[in-house]
């Protein structure tokens, strides 16, 4: 069954290959600096390398937006996102994979009765706008800097042509590597906790089950590149604004810079080390970034040759994509659950008993305002939220804390599962030793496992005095979520 579920992730990979490769090589192909076959080959090689060897990215924000907790739900969310991309790509308009996934995840939240973290949603949406504007500004600045050099330089036209072509290849390869590294998690990331593949020992090198999963995802992206990306390349490289070879290089360079800014943990740590506020690692849209760069160049050159009707269609698609994905996901989840009788979300119980009430009080909350829910059980997160909100006493953050404490989530520590899935490398040696000591232990609530592990310094949450403390806690939260998904013990067991 897992292989059938994987098909939706591979379909999403095909959609990503068909759509997002145009963001990197569209300008180069349409200016005839590179043949489509050459661009497709370079993109395929470096997307594959990026996916297999650096298959991660700033996916924590999406995870906090909504954590899909059932394989059937992951299948349906990926399918809804892929169908949305496919429908829009058929018109030749580039659309963001991140946007469609956000819409599909929110659709899952509504269907399952889970809360949507609107603060994270605002962070994601604002990052799309900022990335679009920033890429336009960077492209405009690069154009102002490079144009005098070219006009006053004595470089022969043929020599200039060689330099530009080489630049497009190098920067395009780097962009393709980054695309594979940062977006493979969008393709098959939801399947990592349940990967059916075992580690393969190749002597001096071990191919983990997760890397095998990434290989499948990368292959699906490559198929998308060769079968359908040419049409989208035309929209980016020619239909919005006709680019020359030099302006094509500027646009791709601006795209690479913005992707690096929003995806580099090294840059984030550098800013922290010199006392500057860090840039959040948010999954920005490469589609919006390249279009922003093209528009920036067009405006610098007077804006007369920008095809605003095409730009309007692209902008409308960006607004429509998450909305369409939302409805696709909601309808598809209903069909998968009720027609095919598949589990699309884990049925969760929220209980207000002596154990949870005591923990709530320990967290410093006034339990006297819980009289209306004391002794009761709830089966939907949204219902708990509405009940507590009606009290008009607790803040939203306090209600979320209460929900986290009352959620019943059976867990059994099994470090073998982490090793088999190649996930052990996510933890430090000290953290791993603390996990091994709990081998076989069972817990009824997530916070019970967290409190037990927190007895070891390597698992302790820090007071958020500095940005570095905040980042530490975010990393720790992602590690705990990984443990929860892996150690989950279904009630029937």
3-state secondary structure of 410: coil
State how far the Cα of 293 lies from the Cα of 396, in Å rounded to an integer.
39
The 10 Å Cβ neighbour count of residue 152 is 7
Listed in sequence order, the residues at least 6 apart from 75 whose beta carbon sits closer than 8 Å to its beta carbon are 4, 5, 7, 8, 9, 336, 342
Per-residue pLDDT tens digits of the chain, which is 493 residues long? 677 888 888 998 898 888 777 778 877 787 788 888 999 999 999 989 888 776 655 455 666 677 787 889 989 998 999 899 888 877 777 777 888 988 999 999 999 999 988 888 888 888 888 999 999 999 999 999 988 887 777 777 788 888 888 999 999 898 888 788 777 777 877 676 566 677 677 777 777 777 788 889 999 999 999 988 877 666 665 555 567 788 888 988 898 888 778 766 677 677 777 777 777 667 677 878 888 998 899 899 887 777 788 788 878 888 899 999 999 999 999 999 999 999 999 889 999 999 999 999 999 999 999 999 999 999 999 999 999 999 889 999 999 999 999 999 999 999 998 887 767 878 999 999 999 999 999 999 999 999 999 999 999 999 887 778 888 898 898 899 889 988 998 865 4
């Amino acid at each position: 069954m897992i292989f059938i579920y994987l098909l939706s992730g591979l379909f999403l990979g095909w959609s990503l290959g068909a759509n997002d490769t145009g963001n990197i090589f569209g300008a180069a192909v349409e200016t005839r600096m590179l043949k489509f076959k050459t661009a497709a080959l370079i993109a395929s090689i470096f997307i594959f390398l990026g996916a297999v060897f650096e298959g991660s990215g700033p996916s924590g924000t999406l995870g906090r937006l909504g954590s899909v907790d059932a394989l059937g739900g992951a299948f349906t969310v990926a399918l809804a996102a892929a169908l949305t991309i496919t429908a829009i790509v058929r018109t030749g308009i580039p659309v963001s994979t991140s946007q469609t996934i956000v819409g599909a995840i929110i659709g899952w939240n509504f269907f399952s009765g889970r809360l949507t973290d609107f603060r994270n949603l605002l962070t994601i949406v604002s990052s799309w706008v900022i990335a679009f504007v920033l890429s336009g500004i960077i492209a405009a600045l690069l154009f102002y800097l490079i144009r005098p050099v070219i006009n006053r330089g004595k470089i022969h036209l043929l020599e200039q042509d060689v330099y530009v072509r080489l630049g497009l290849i190098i920067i395009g390869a780097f962009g393709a590597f980054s695309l594979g590294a940062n977006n493979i998690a969008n393709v098959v990331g939801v399947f990592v906790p349940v990967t059916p593949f075992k580690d393969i020992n190749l002597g001096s090198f071990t191919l983990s089950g997760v890397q095998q999963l990434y290989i499948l995802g990368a292959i699906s992206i490559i198929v998308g590149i060769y079968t359908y990306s040419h049409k989208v390349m035309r929209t980016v490289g020619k239909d919005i604004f006709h680019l020359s070879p030099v302006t094509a290089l500027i646009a791709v360079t601006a795209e690479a810079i913005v992707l690096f800014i929003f995806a580099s943990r090294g840059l984030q740590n550098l800013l922290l080390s010199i006392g500057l506020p860090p840039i959040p690692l948010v999954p920005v849209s490469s589609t919006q970034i390249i279009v922003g760069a093209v528009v920036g160049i067009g405006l610098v050159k007077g804006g007369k040759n920008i095809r605003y009707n095409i730009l309007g269609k692209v902008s409308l698609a960006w607004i429509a994509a998450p909305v369409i994905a939302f409805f696709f996901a909601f309808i598809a989840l209903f069909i998968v659950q009720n027609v095919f009788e598949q589990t699309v979300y884990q049925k969760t119980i929220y209980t207000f008993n002596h154990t949870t009430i005591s923990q709530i009080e320990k967290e410093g909350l006034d339990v006297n305002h819980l009289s209306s829910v004391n002794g009761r059980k709830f089966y939907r997160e949204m219902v708990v939220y509405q009940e507590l909100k009606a009290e008009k006493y607790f803040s939203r953050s306090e209600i979320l804390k209460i929900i986290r404490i009352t959620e019943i989530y059976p867990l059994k520590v099994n470090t073998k599962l982490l090793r088999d899935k190649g996930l052990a490398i996510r933890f430090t040696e000290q953290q791993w030793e603390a996990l091994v000591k709990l081998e076989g232990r069972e817990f009824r609530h997530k916070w019970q496992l967290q409190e037990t592990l927190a007895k070891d310094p390597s698992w302790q949450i820090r007071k958020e005095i500095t940005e570095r403390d905040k980042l530490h806690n975010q990393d720790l939260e992602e590690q705990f979520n990984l443990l929860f998904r892996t150690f989950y013990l279904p009630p029937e067991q």
